[in-house]
Each structure stands twice: as C-alpha cells, then as structure tokens.
Structure 1
C-alpha cells in the first residue's frame, strides 16, 4: 500500500509562523515589527482586553511612546494582526493545503485522511497564536466568523469538492453533501487541537492524535462501515 510522506513535527522547536513570514514581507521598521510580534504573543496569552500598552512595550523592548507612534490605538494593533490572518494567512493556508492535497489523491482513502489530518494539525500547532486570537475575535465579532465561513466555502467550491468526488466515485467515501463531510472533518481536527492551542504547556502528540482522528473519520465516512 502506498503510504504518504510527511514532515516530522517537533513541538518544542518554534518554526517561523506565517504571521512572522508576513511581517518580513511587509518590510516594516524593526520597532514596528517588534510591537506586532509582542502584541501577538500577549493577546494570545492573556487576551486583548487584559493587555496594556506598557506590557506590549516591555515585551517588544521599546519605549511605551513607540507603541502609539506606530499604531494610534491598541485596537489598531489588533486590526493589523487580524488583517494579516484574513488577508495573508488564510489565503496562503488554503493555497498550500489544496496544492498538497491534490498530490495525495492516489492514496488509499484511509491514508489520504491520515495525511489531511496530520497536515492540518501541524498547521494549527505551528500557528496557534494567530488561530487563538482569531477564535477569540469570532466570539465577539461576527464579521470574522463570516470571513472564516466564506474562506471555507471558497476552498470547497474550487478544490475540495473535486477531491472528495474522486473518492466517492471509487466507492471509498459516503455519498453525502461535500459541505457536510468537510464540516465533520474540520471539527474533528479543530476539537483535537483546541486543548493545545489554549493550553500549550500540555503535551501534544501529533502522530497519536492523527491516528485517533483518522480511525474515527474512516469509520464514519467509509460506505458500509456505518
């Protein structure tokens, strides 16, 4: 049986996140970049409301006046972070994800699901700070929830539909609405990652979680296994 090839994830080694890559592409002044990175960590760790400008300045190692010299308000900082997620992180996530998935459709359905689950768990772990802030904001600002839903619909309509249809035609995937299938898969992955996103000090074994989620999804999505 053909097996998928995946990268070994080391949770303790901090990789450069998509947010950090986006900042580099903006060619911002060093102090402005430092303020944004400090804010990202503080907003994720203790919440937007509980974070003060003095804490941001201390974390960024700049004078407090520098915070508001580059950003008029604390909300302005949050808006930059959120826009980087919706305008940079999500589109890039979708593009890379679909490209990788298209190269895996020759796999057995169970191996395909295993690849998909591991890939997305890895992404959520590597970008946990941005994901946490976005989840916090969707709870209080429906605008961001709509952005997320629209992005998911775009991915499904342009690519996921064709991939799932491929497995349906082979009789390996239940003949359900694609959005229904995608929702089940997405929630299974997100629910497994949430404890680590909110409690990053807890151990998180991506390989074990991948195995558990994949087994669960295969039983629910394979015809004749219901």
Structure 2
C-alpha cells in the first residue's frame, strides 16, 4: 500500500480495514493515510460542522494545503471517507453476517435474537469511529442517506423479512405484516446499541441486564396471541 506503515497509534482495526478496502490500487500516500486517520478521529469526536481542516492537518502532521491537494473541500474529505465505508465495508459485512444468520439453524426465535444482538454489538465496537460519523451526518447529508439506503437497507430488509416469515410459519412470532415485525425488531435492537456505544457511552451501563431486557421486550412484543 504505497509504503504506508502503521505506527502503534494507527494500528486500530477500523483504520486498517478502511485503508485495505479503499486503497486497492496502492495509490494512497503516507500523508493521505495520515489525513484520513486524523479526519476520521476529528469528525467522530467533534462532528463535521465542528471540525476544521486546519485542526485535521495539525493532527495529521501536514500542511493544511496538503489536504486541499487531495480533496477540494472538507465535504469532499468527509464523503471520500464515509461513501467507501458504506459501499465497500458496511454493506458487504451486513449482507455477509445476515447470510450467516440465515444459514444457521436456531432452535427458536430467542436464540436468533440473541445472536443478532451479539453480532451487532461486535460490529459497532469494531467500527465505532466510522459509525459515529455516519450516525451524526446522515440527518444533514441526504446523499449519504441515499447511499446507505441503496447499498444496505434494501438488501438487509429482504433477508430480515425472510427470517421473520420463517418464524411466523413456525408460530413463534405473531401474525402481522412482516415489515412491521422487522421494524419493531430492528428499532429495539438499534435503540440499545446506538445509545450504548454512540450516543451515551459514558452512562453507567449494566450491559448484560440491558441485553436481557431488550430480548424480553422484543419477545413479549412479538409473541403470538395464544402465548400471552
């Protein structure tokens, strides 16, 4: 990869993974890699609006003009980071992991639910800075929302609908519109994961109990009427 060497401080797995997917042709210079790392860390900590290219340049150890030789604007820098993350990392990993879930033979819906929660927690932990940027900027960057919808949401939705219909056929989930069941399932899991790792990580979380309560909440909400 054009000679870029990871120092002890730049060996975060998310950075290595991003560069691996982005830099397939080996064209990224050492300075550009440092700019990307500095931008990800700064955007994650302060948000896009609260970050400056001068601050990013200082953290990367380069002149501010070096940033603009690679990226025309700060927004171009943001999109050069987040768009490849969605297309090359987030979308394939989501599809791959949910395919694994589909292929597994779970004893019941609860076992499936616990596996999904554990998988999403691990994914968020492994890609926290990039996911934090994505969550912060989607409300203000419609193009990012469109990319996320096209690359991830449609494919994930089809797989989740298949899973829900499977457990409905087994009588483990109440009969309702599968898309409604998916919405309830996803919103419950994401509300916990996002709050825990992205919105309020400083809160004193009792994680095991929170997971247990989330599982119980989803199961009780989706259980068939004859099991109430």
Q: Say yes or no: TM over 0.5.
A: yes
Q: Report SS of the residue matched to 2:13.
A: coil
CA contact (8 A) 1:35 1:60 kept: yes
Can you list the C-alpha shifts for 1:65-100, whole angstroms capped at 9, x where unaligned?
A: 322222222111101112123212331222222222
Residue in structure 2 matching 1:16, options 13, 17, 21: 13
Aligned equivalents of 1:178 and 1:213: distance in 2? Answer: 20
CA contact (8 A) 2:43 2:133 kept: yes
Can you list the C-alpha shifts for 1:6-42, whole angstroms capped at 9, x where unaligned?
A: xxxxxxxx9612x541312313222111111111111
1:181/1:148 Cα in 2 relative to 1: closer, same or farther (>3 Å)? Answer: farther
- For the pair 1:153 / 2:154, whether they are aligned, the reply is yes
Q: Report SS of the residue matched to 1:99.
A: helix
- For the pair 1:96 / 2:96, whether they are aligned, the reply is yes
CA contact (8 A) 2:120 2:193 kept: no
1:176/1:146 Cα in 2 relative to 1: closer, same or farther (>3 Å)? Answer: farther
How far the C-alpha of 1:203 sits from its partner, in A, is: 4.7
Q: Which moved more, 1:98-107 or 1:196-205?
A: 196-205
How far the C-alpha of 1:204 sits from its partner, in A, is: 4.6
How far the C-alpha of 1:102 sits from its partner, in A, is: 1.7
Aligned equivalents of 2:138 and 2:19: distance in 1? Answer: 23
Give the TM-score, by structure 1 length: 0.82
How far the C-alpha of 1:145 sits from its partner, in A, is: 2.6
CA contact (8 A) 2:164 2:182 kept: no
Partner of 1:190: 190
Structure 2 unaligned spans of 5+: 1-10
Partner of 1:49: 49
Q: Cα RMSD between the aligned structures?
A: 2.2
1:207/1:30 Cα in 2 relative to 1: closer, same or farther (>3 Å)? Answer: farther
Q: How many residues are aligned here?
A: 211
Aligned equivalents of 2:12 and 2:175: distance in 1? Answer: 39
Q: Report SS of the residue matched to 1:41.
A: helix
Can you list the C-alpha shifts for 1:159-188, whole angstroms capped at 9, x where unaligned?
A: 222222221111011222222112112211
Give the TM-score, by structure 2 length: 0.82
Partner of 2:68: 68
Mapping of residues 103-114 of structure 1, within 5 Å: 103-114=103-114
CA contact (8 A) 1:39 1:56 kept: yes
Partner of 1:129: 129
Partner of 1:172: 172
Aligned equivalents of 1:186 and 1:74: distance in 2? Answer: 33
Partner of 1:216: 217
CA contact (8 A) 1:117 1:213 kept: no
